[in-house]
């Protein structure tokens, strides 16, 4: 019975995970810095650093 | 009811999306994937790809290679500055250097033959811009890049510098003749 | 004690310190636009072959100053104003730590003065990119660093304001979409500025002799995380401005909060990877890295832009149809307020950014197609479509909206204002299109003389290239006239416009808040959620914005055609491997 009322009651409905992510500015800030840092900057620096020395 | 107020629903993630947007997103996604796969496709089936072969080098080391090639294959000189013109054999390693404000030396290549073209800069960044075919590459000091080129039309070609390199940048030209 | 005033016309609440900061940043931005615009005129008049105004040394100095002043100073000052607006005003919240925000503003001003001084002293004509090892004066780099630190403080003040608003429960539910767009811009800005610090601080130390060598290739990789991402801040912010203007003028609601926010999430995750666009012909970087990064991880950020391209005009169309403009596909658009510069500016910005800037950007950012475009004048053509027609025109449209609301002045010269977006957008579109066309003929960017005077070898671009550069010159002059009209109208309105508020004197226009009596120490009422529609969701009834869908398909077809035309061009150059 308790179940029925809580699922019917819209305001207390659980917020979906995706909305929780999008509503969390600091999580987004972390993602928005971590992703390009790893894929663009770190990977890119590794690419340049591993260029072999000319024979 | 507007874009600058909080969404009308506390849980807006579950509000169904209209059919129009779904259709557009799917179309756009397909197009994005096509564009993405065009690049690896061209690596396999296309003829114009810049190799990623490159080496760390120094101006002195690179200049020595250029000089060795000039000594071996020089055919004549051009202009009042006596810039050497080099005709290396097909398939060989050809060394071109960029410096303030010159592409050095000039090259004579044979049509439909392939050459391993090395390019490096002695000082600052330069831009290799071959006209009128319009092939453009970034030339970075300290790095020697290697591209296999196969000139497929004969004629006189000019190398323009298209990366800003100081006050006389606009006078920095080089030549390649394809016979 | 926090003090707020409510704008009697719009109902927006302004927190006193936030209001002053918005004004100060907007005015500083306008000053930079004035400087940058004059420099731009000198640049375009030099690149117009028949005019060829400046000598070489002055040209490169002016070009360096033009790039930095417009691309960085003007746009980021204005963005700071937008962050404070989206954080404080739209959320009805007090601004967090206004003193820090002022400190940031002062740093930015000092940075501008330092860098511009260095450039105009003549020893720092190194272009915006300042590629090492070409040296600039130490205060050139130092100014950029100070400016960046100031902007970073602004970003954290915005984030702090979000926290304050949440804790003090100034709004219900989630933050508004426009604020979310500003948040996206803020996040990208923080990555941008961090990258700038990573590379400019060592470069500064190098310029004063503490570091002996900076690797030229490494510099390019990290510098472009600054240089390109800074333009992605603009994309996020001007899309937010489009949503804002659609909301203010039409009462348009986002077609779907979920879709629009998810699109912004894609920006946050992937947009910054496109810094790789500049490195596609660089030596030694693998194609794996190039393909992954240049495509924003499978073009997911392009997908996001295409989504915004549908949902912004789509939201307007739905709002217009609800008002009864339902005839045919395009009555909603035909009967839009084309004489209102807020709307026309925003819509030209949208179309110009999508059709000219967006398509060309994706095409030239294709790994192999970059070979026929890298460093040609196609590149400036492209970014004048994105950053000038797109971002700058969006900022202009927003200014027309804010003069009465923020500065409490009536706009002067409404007749001129009506035409200003067309002049500016039209002129700049000509610049963009004809520079791109000249670029496909190989004309170099950052180049004083396309005739190569003084070189004994001799080479001439085709005559068409000269014609195209000449037409671009005409377009540039038109755009400068449009830009001058904008500054005349805005500055003139601040000085001489009719006061909408008894206290709105001259000083009030430039950063001093209005008289105390206008403000109340009472907290504004909590910002409610948008009222729900009678029927929530879109049901299954098919397309609610069919006209927009047609426009979107036109965009897609142009995109596809232009994309493959460029592959065709590429296939005609020498085989390379």
Is A6 part of any domain? no
A42 and C CB contact within 8 Å = no
What pLDDT does C541 receive?
Answer: 58
What pLDDT does A8 receive?
Answer: 46
Q: What contacts C566, CB < 8 A, 6 or more positions away? A: C363, C366, C369, C372
CB pair distance less than 8 Å for B57 and A53: yes
List the single best residue of B7, B8, B10, B13 to mutate versus A (max A Cβ within 10 A): B13
Which residues in C lie closer than 8 A to residue B169 (C-beta atoms)? Answer: 60, 446-448
- B21 or C507: which leads in pLDDT: B21
Distances (CA, A) of B116 to B68, B73, B111, B121, B159: 16, 15, 14, 17, 17
Q: What is the CA radius of gyration of chain B?
A: 24
Which residues in C lie closer than 8 A to residue A35 (C-beta atoms)? Answer: 269-270, 272-273
Q: What contacts A31, CB < 8 A, 6 or more positions away? A: C268, C269
How many A/B residue pairs have CB atoms within 8 Å?
32
Q: Exposure of B17 by Cβ count < 10 A (0-12 exposed, 13-18 middle, 19+ buried)?
A: middle
Task: Using a pLDDT cut of 70, give the percent of chain C over it.
Answer: 98
Residue C44 has pLDDT above 70, yes or no: yes
C550 and B CB contact within 8 Å = no
Q: How confident is the model at residue A5 (pLDDT cuts 50, 70, 90)?
A: very low
Residue C373 has pLDDT above 50, yes or no: yes
Indicate the residue of A11, A16, A51 with minimum beta-carbon distance to B56.
A51
Residue C365 has pLDDT above 90, yes or no: yes
Residue A10 has pLDDT above 70, yes or no: no
What pLDDT does C534 receive?
Answer: 57
Alpha-carbon distance A50 to C289, whole Å? 13
Indicate the residue of B12, B55, B62 with minimum beta-carbon distance to A52.
B55
Is A25 part of any domain? yes
Domains and CATH numbers, chain C: 342-522+548-570 (1.20.210.10)
Alpha-carbon distance C453 to B170, whole Å? 8
CB pair distance less than 8 Å for C293 and A51: no
- C442 or C511: which leads in pLDDT: C442
The full set of domain ranges for chain B reads: 52-178
Q: What contacts C508, CB < 8 A, 6 or more positions away? A: C407, C408, C514, C515
What pLDDT does C561 receive?
Answer: 98
Strand B173-178 relative to strand B155-161, pairing: antiparallel
What pLDDT does C542 receive?
Answer: 67
Alpha-carbon distance C395 to C425, whole Å? 12
Q: What region does B142 belong to: left with phi over 0, alpha with psi -120 to 50, or beta?
A: left
Residue B46 has pLDDT above 80, yes or no: yes
Count of domains in chain A? 1
Mean pLDDT of C243-254: 94
State whether ipTM is beyond 0.85: yes
CB pair distance less than 8 Å for A55 and B55: yes
Residue A12 has pLDDT above 80, yes or no: no
Indicate the residue of B129, B136, B141 with minimum beta-carbon distance to C133.
B141
- Residue-wise pLDDT for C85-113, tens only, equals 999 999 999 999 999 999 999 999 999 99
What pLDDT does C531 receive?
Answer: 86
Q: Exposure of C575 by Cβ count < 10 A (0-12 exposed, 13-18 middle, 19+ buried)?
A: middle
Residue of A nearest to B140 (CA): A48
Residue A7 has pLDDT above 60, yes or no: no
Q: What's phi and psi for C246, nearest 5 deg?
A: -60, -40
Distances (CA, A) of C294 to A39, C133, C361, C374: 11, 26, 11, 14
Neighbours of chain B (3+ CB pairs under 8 A): A, C
Mean pLDDT of C245-255: 93
CB pair distance less than 8 Å for B164 and C298: no
Task: Using a pLDDT cut of 90, give the percent of chain B over it.
Answer: 94
Q: How confident is the model at residue A3 (pLDDT cuts 50, 70, 90)?
A: very low
Mean pLDDT of C329-337: 96
What pLDDT does C516 receive?
Answer: 84
What pLDDT does C535 receive?
Answer: 55
B61 and A CB contact within 8 Å = yes
Q: To the nearest whole number, what is the mean pLDDT of chain C?
A: 94
Which of B175-179, C125-129, C220-224, C531-535 has the lowest average pLDDT?
C531-535
Residue A6 has pLDDT above 50, yes or no: no
CB pair distance less than 8 Å for B62 and A55: no
What pLDDT does C504 receive?
Answer: 83
- Residue-wise pLDDT for C524-563, tens only, equals 999 999 888 755 555 445 688 999 999 999 999 999 999 9
What pLDDT does C386 receive?
Answer: 97
Residue of B nearest to C465 (CA): B132
CB pair distance less than 8 Å for C285 and A35: no
- Which range of residues forms the domain containing residue A24? 15-49
Residue B156 has pLDDT above 80, yes or no: yes
Residue C377 has pLDDT above 50, yes or no: yes
- Residue-wise pLDDT for C129-154, tens only, equals 999 999 999 999 999 999 999 999 99
Strand-pairing partners, residue B175, are B158
Q: How confident is the model at residue C508 (pLDDT cuts 50, 70, 90)?
A: confident
Indicate the residue of C162, C215, C285 with minimum beta-carbon distance to A44.
C285
pTM: predicted TM-score of the whole model, two decimal places: 0.95
Our CA-based measurement puts residue B102 at a distance from the nearest CA of chain A, in whole angstroms, of 23
Q: How confident is the model at residue C165 (pLDDT cuts 50, 70, 90)?
A: very high
Mean pLDDT of B129-149: 96
- Residue B105's nearest CA partner among B141, B135, B68 is B68
Indicate the residue of A25, A47, A51 with minimum beta-carbon distance to C162.
A25
CATH number assigned to the domain covering B52-178:
2.60.40.420
């Amino acid at each position: 019975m308790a179940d029925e009322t809580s699922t019917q009651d819209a305001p207390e409905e659980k917020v979906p995970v995706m909305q929780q992510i999008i509503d969390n500015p600091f999580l987004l800030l972390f993602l928005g810095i971590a992703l390009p840092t790893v894929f663009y900057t770190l990977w890119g620096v590794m690419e340049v650093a591993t260029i072999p020395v000319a024979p | 009811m507007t874009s600058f107020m909080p969404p009308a629903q506390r849980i807006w993630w579950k509000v169904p999306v209209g059919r129009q947007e779904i259709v557009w997103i799917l179309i756009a996604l397909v197009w994005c994937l096509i564009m993405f796969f065009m690049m690896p496709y061209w690596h396999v089936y296309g003829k114009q790809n810049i190799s990623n072969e490159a080496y760390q080098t120094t101006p002195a080391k690179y200049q020595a290679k250029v000089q060795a090639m000039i000594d071996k294959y020089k055919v004549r000189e051009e202009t009042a500055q006596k810039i050497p013109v080099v005709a290396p054999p097909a398939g060989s390693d050809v060394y071109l250097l960029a410096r303030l404000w010159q592409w050095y030396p000039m090259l004579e290549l044979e049509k439909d033959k392939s050459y391993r073209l090395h390019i490096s800069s002695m000082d600052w960044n330069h831009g290799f811009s071959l006209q009128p075919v319009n092939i453009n590459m970034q030339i970075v000091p300290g790095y020697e890049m290697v591209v296999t080129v196969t000139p497929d039309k004969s004629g006189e070609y000019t190398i323009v510098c298209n990366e800003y390199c100081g006050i006389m940048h606009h006078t920095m030209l080089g030549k390649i003749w394809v016979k | 004690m926090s003090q707020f005033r409510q704008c009697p016309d719009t109902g927006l609440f302004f927190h006193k310190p936030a209001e002053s900061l918005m004004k100060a940043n907007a005015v500083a931005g306008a000053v930079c636009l004035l400087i940058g615009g004059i420099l731009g005129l000198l640049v375009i008049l030099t690149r117009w072959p028949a005019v060829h105004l400046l000598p070489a040394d002055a040209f490169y100095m002016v070009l360096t100053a033009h790039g930095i002043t417009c691309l960085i100073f003007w746009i980021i000052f204005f963005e700071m104003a937008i962050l404070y607006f989206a954080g404080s005003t739209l959320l009805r919240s007090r601004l967090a730590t206004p003193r820090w925000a002022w400190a940031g503003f002062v740093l930015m001003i000092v940075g501008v003065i330092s860098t511009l001084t260095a450039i105009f002293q003549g020893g720092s004509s190194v272009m915006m990119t300042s590629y090492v090892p070409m040296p600039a004066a130490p205060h050139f780099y130092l100014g950029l660093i100070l400016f960046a630190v100031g902007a970073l403080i602004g970003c954290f003040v915005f984030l702090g304001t979000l926290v304050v608003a949440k804790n003090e429960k100034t709004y219900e539910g989630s933050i508004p979409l426009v604020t979310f767009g500003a948040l996206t811009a803020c996040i990208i800005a923080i990555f941008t500025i961090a990258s700038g610090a990573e590379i400019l601080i060592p470069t500064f130390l190098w310029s004063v002799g503490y570091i002996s060598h900076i690797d030229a290739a490494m510099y390019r990789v990290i510098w472009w995380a600054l240089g390109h991402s800074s333009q992605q801040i603009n994309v996020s912010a001007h899309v937010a401005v489009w949503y804002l203007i659609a909301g203010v003028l039409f009462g348009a609601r986002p077609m779907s909060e979920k879709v629009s926010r998810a699109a912004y999430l894609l920006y946050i995750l992937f947009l910054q990877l496109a810094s790789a666009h500049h490195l596609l012909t660089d030596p030694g970087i693998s194609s794996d890295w190039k393909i992954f990064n240049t495509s924003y991880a499978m073009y997911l950020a392009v997908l996001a832009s295409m989504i915004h391209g549908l949902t912004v005009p789509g939201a307007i169309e739905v709002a217009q149809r609800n008002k009864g403009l339902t005839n045919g596909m395009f009555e909603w658009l035909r009967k839009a307020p084309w004489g209102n510069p807020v709307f026309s500016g925003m819509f030209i910005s949208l179309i110009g950014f999508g059709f000219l800037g967006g398509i060309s950007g994706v095409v030239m950012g294709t790994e192999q197609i970059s070979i026929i475009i890298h460093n040609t004048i196609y590149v400036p053509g492209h970014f004048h479509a994105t950053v000038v027609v797109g971002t700058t025109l969006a900022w202009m449209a927003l200014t027309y909206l804010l003069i009465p609301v923020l500065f409490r002045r009536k706009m002067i010269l409404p007749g001129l204002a009506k035409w200003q977006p067309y002049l500016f957008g039209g002129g700049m579109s000509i610049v963009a299109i004809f520079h791109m066309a000249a670029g496909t003929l190989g004309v170099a960017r950052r180049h004083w003389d396309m005739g190569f005077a003084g070189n004994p070898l001799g080479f001439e671009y085709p005559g068409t290239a000269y014609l195209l550069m000449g037409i671009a010159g005409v377009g540039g002059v038109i755009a400068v006239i449009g830009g001058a009209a904008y500054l005349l109208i805005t500055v003139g309105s601040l000085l001489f416009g009719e006061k909408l508020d008894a206290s709105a004197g001259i000083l009030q226009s430039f950063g001093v808040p209005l008289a105390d009596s206008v403000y109340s120490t009472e907290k504004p009422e909590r910002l409610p959620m948008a009222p729900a529609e009678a029927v929530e969701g879109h049901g299954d009834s098919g397309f609610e914005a069919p006209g927009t869908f047609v426009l979107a398909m036109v965009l897609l077809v142009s995109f596809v055609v232009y994309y493959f035309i460029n592959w065709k061009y590429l296939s005609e150059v020498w085989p390379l491997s």
